[in-house]
């Protein structure tokens, strides 16, 4: 064994009885039974071992040690009279002859009980993260993360990808989220940026002649936190393939991910190839979201035409009406009202409902407005007694979103509609290339401006000439979704300078603008670039899914809080005037 230990605290078994051993770890707990008799739980990274105090000398030593101090224990292994089958070392105990303090905990009270740290306030957990990480449940998430990354790396190497690291200090990107900027001391007034993703570098690698690239890439984006998004930094399995199509990327991902999810996941069932595929617009229609959860069997249906002429104001002409029929629903009126309130909070729009009674009539909620359309609605939705029908109405996008939220909640609440214990992957394809910006009111790129447009340059020219609506142009872009969580976006890249110019011209940027904003990539493409495609599944989100956690912070060793603060290290923090002077920066903040 390494260091001064002969064994770890998770290693000893009956076969070690009568051996003289030395263990080292944290004193987790002390249970005093008599004047010179006590049980001590010693914990290290590998597990716990029971130490039995039976002498006055050993008792005097233990009494002077606070919990969570690190100690070394030398003694003899013996068989326990009262065994603990739930503990790997539960058949043995160690009787000490020597106890040495290695690192004293000077505090009598801890901020929280180590084994119950997950019940503590998150601010306390992050402030004392080194204590939180001693909790085996928290520690195991970090071990899982390590194992998953090792498995991803092994699988990518087996698929003939080269692991290549790309720069951390780079140029600010004119697209995407906010950059983290780094002042350049040797170049006053200029700044580096931390990469939001290695996007341009990996495309340049393809242009350089590398055939298959990957890395576990750190990415930096100054964006707000969510349950599945950490502020500041995150990691992704970044990959790119030369002379590749969408199908080539799908083939690699469908081969790499399912075995890892099945082996390391909370559930041992994962989709096999080929994953389900659905077009972006169809996903919005059927699922109310571009992140469909295929574990839920409920589908959204459009009943706008069926309720035309209704007296109910939300069904008025010009609005879209969506319905979700959930059979076998035994929710009470109280539970339905609670469900609708929760949907409204998440979706921002009020949902409606009614039920099918045993005799086939409609009752509850908006039943009186649906009854005039009874037969048509029953036939269209395939309604049977005991079915709850959720309704969303309003502008098309709002109705889709509200119906999507209600579908997800019903699937989780009503038994028989969701196969929870599996990992269900799908591809969302055919994303729109352009959209009308909410703030600008003008045509903008919908997602990735470097995606290859469907139809190539000819389609773009027709849009520029006004022959087709640019909003109908799709991109060769795809999202990987698992259990309703987006793991990644990817695309077949626009590697042709001519097509790139045409794509940007539609959003009011000319050739000189493109050359100025993306000089390295544009120039590289002018020297003969191969067709290439890639994707970058988020490592943090994958591990969160595998661990069965709801918050991404549970699987990050030292996460920031929701306000992008590192409470443990005190970041962000102030710096000295001298540091600012060296960087040619003046801070001007209104108090």
Residue 264, pLDDT above cutoff 60: yes
For the chain, the C-alpha Rg in angstroms (whole number) is 30
CB 39 within 8 A of CB 53: yes
pLDDT tens string 26-75: 999 999 998 899 999 999 999 999 999 999 999 999 999 999 999 999 99
* Whether pTM exceeds 0.85: yes
Burial class (CB in 10 A: 0-12, 13-18, 19+), 409: buried
pLDDT tens-place string over residues 80-136: 999 999 999 999 999 999 999 999 999 999 999 999 999 999 999 999 999 999 999
Degrees, nearest 5: CA angle 141-558-49: 50
Q: Tell me: the pLDDT tens digits for 426-456?
A: 999 999 999 998 888 899 998 888 899 988 8
Is the pLDDT reported for residue 3 higher than 70?
no
Token pair in block for residue 166: 């790309």
pLDDT for residue 447: 80
Distance CA 452, CA 239 (A): 17
pLDDT in tens, 189-222: 999 999 999 999 999 999 999 999 999 999 999 9
Confidence at residue 159, expressed as pLDDT on a 0 to 100 scale: 98
Taking the C-alpha atoms of residue 53 and residue 58, their distance in angstroms, rounded to an integer, is: 6
How sure is the predictor about 1, in pLDDT bands with cuts at 50, 70 and 90? very low
Residue 483 to residue 61: CA distance in whole angstroms: 53
What distance in Å separates the CA atoms of residue 529 and residue 204, rounded to the nearest whole number?
9
Centre a 10 Å sphere on the Cβ of residue 532 and count the other Cβ atoms it contains: 25
Region 521-527 average pLDDT: 93
Kindly indicate whether the domain formed by 296-413 is annotated with CATH number 3.30.1360.30: yes
CB atoms near residue 214 (< 10 Å): 25
C-alpha span between 381 and 355 (Å, rounded) = 13
Pairing type for strands 212-221 and 162-163 reads parallel
| pLDDT tens-digit map of 331-364 | 999 999 999 999 999 999 999 999 999 999 999 9
- Sheet harboring 212-221: ordered strands across? 162-163, 212-221, 232-242, 532-535, 485-492, 474-482, 425-432, 276-279
Nearest to 266 by CA among 543, 579, 466, 571: 543
Distance between CA atoms of 479 and 465, rounded to whole angstroms? 30
Is pLDDT of 2 > 80? no
Backbone angles phi, psi at 432, to 5 degrees: -65, 140
Check pLDDT > 80 for residue 174: no
Interaxial angle between packed helices 136-158 and 246-264, expressed in degrees from 0 to 180 and rounded to the nearest 10: 140
Instruction: Name the percent of the chain lying above pLDDT 90.
Output: 87
The position carrying tokens 């029908």 is 389
Say if 134-279+419-556 and 296-413 have the same CATH topology: no
Alpha-carbon span 161 to 149, nearest angstrom: 15
Q: Which residues are paired to 485 by β-bridges?
A: 482
How many beta carbons lie within 10 A of that of residue 406, not counting itself?
30
Provide the residue ranges of all domains of the chain, joining segments of one domain with +. Answer: 14-103, 134-279+419-556, 296-413
**CATH architecture of structural domain 134-279+419-556:** 2-Layer Sandwich (3.30)
pLDDT of 588 strictly over 80: yes
**Which of 116, 123, 121 shows the shortest CA–CA distance to 138?**
116
Q: For 14-103, CATH number?
A: 2.40.50.140
């Amino acid at each position: 064994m390494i260091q001064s230990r002969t064994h770890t605290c998770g290693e000893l078994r009956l076969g070690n009885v009568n051996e003289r051993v030395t263990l080292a770890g944290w004193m987790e707990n002390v249970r005093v039974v008599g004047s010179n008799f006590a049980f001590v739980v010693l914990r290290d990274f590998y597990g716990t071992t029971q130490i039995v105090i039976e002498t006055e000398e050993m008792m005097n030593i233990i009494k002077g040690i606070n919990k969570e101090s690190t100690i070394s224990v030398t003694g003899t292994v013996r068989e326990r009279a009262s065994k603990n089958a739930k503990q790997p070392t539960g058949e043995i105990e160690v009787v000490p002859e020597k106890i040495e303090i290695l690192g004293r905990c000077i505090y009598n009270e801890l901020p929280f009980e180590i084994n119950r740290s997950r019940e503590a306030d998150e601010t306390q957990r992050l402030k004392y993260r080194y204590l939180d990480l001693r909790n085996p449940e928290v520690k195991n998430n970090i071990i899982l993360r390590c194992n998953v990354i090792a498995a991803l790396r092994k699988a990518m190497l087996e698929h003939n990808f080269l692991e290549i690291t790309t720069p951390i200090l780079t140029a600010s990107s004119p697209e995407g989220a906010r950059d983290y900027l780094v002042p350049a001391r040797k170049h006053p007034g200029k700044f580096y940026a931390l990469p939001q993703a290695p996007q341009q570098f990996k495309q340049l690698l393809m242009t350089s002649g590398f055939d298959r690239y990957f890395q576990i890439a750190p990415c930096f984006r100054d964006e707000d936190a969510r349950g599945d998004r950490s502020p500041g930094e995150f990691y992704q399995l970044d990959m790119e393939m030369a002379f590749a199509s969408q199908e080539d990327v799908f083939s690699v991902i469908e081969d790499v991910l399912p075995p890892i999810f099945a082996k390391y996941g909370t559930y041992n069932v994962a989709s096999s190839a080929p994953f389900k595929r659905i077009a972006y617009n169809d996903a919005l229609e059927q699922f109310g979201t571009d992140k469909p959860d295929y574990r839920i069997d409920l589908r959204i249906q459009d009943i706008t035409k069926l309720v035309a002429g209704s007296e109910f104001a939300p069904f008025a002409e010009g609005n879209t009406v969506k319905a979700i029929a959930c059979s076998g629903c035994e929710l009470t009126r109280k539970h339905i009202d609670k469900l609708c309130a929760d949907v409204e909070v998440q979706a921002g729009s009020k949902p409606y409902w009614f039920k099918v009674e045993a005799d086939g009539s409609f009752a509850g909620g908006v039943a009186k407005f649906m009854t005039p359309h009874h037969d048509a609605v029953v036939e269209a939705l395939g309604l049977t007694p005991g079915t709850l029908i959720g309704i969303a109405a309003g502008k098309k996008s709002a109705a889709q979103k509200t119906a999507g939220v209600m579908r997800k909640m019903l699937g989780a609440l009503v038994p028989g509609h969701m196969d929870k214990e599996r990992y269900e992957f799908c591809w969302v394809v055919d994303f729109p290339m352009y959209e009308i910006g909410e703030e600008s009111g003008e045509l903008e790129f919908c997602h990735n401006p470097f995606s290859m447009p469907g139809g190539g340059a000819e389609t773009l020219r027709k849009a520029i000439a006004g022959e087709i609506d640019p909003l109908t142009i799709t991109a060769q872009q795809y999202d990987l979704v698992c259990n309703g969580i987006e793991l990644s976006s990817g695309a077949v890249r626009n590697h042709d300078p001519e097509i790139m110019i045409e794509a940007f011209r539609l959003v009011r940027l000319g050739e000189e603008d493109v050359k100025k904003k993306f000089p390295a990539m544009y120039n590289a493409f002018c020297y003969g670039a191969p067709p290439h495609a890639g994707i970058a599944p988020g490592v943090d989100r994958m591990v969160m899914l595998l661990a069965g956690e709801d918050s991404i912070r549970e699987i990050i060793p030292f996460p920031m809080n929701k306000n992008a603060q590192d409470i443990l290290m005190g970041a962000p923090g102030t710096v000295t005037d001298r540091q600012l002077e060296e960087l040619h920066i003046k801070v001007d903040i209104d108090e």
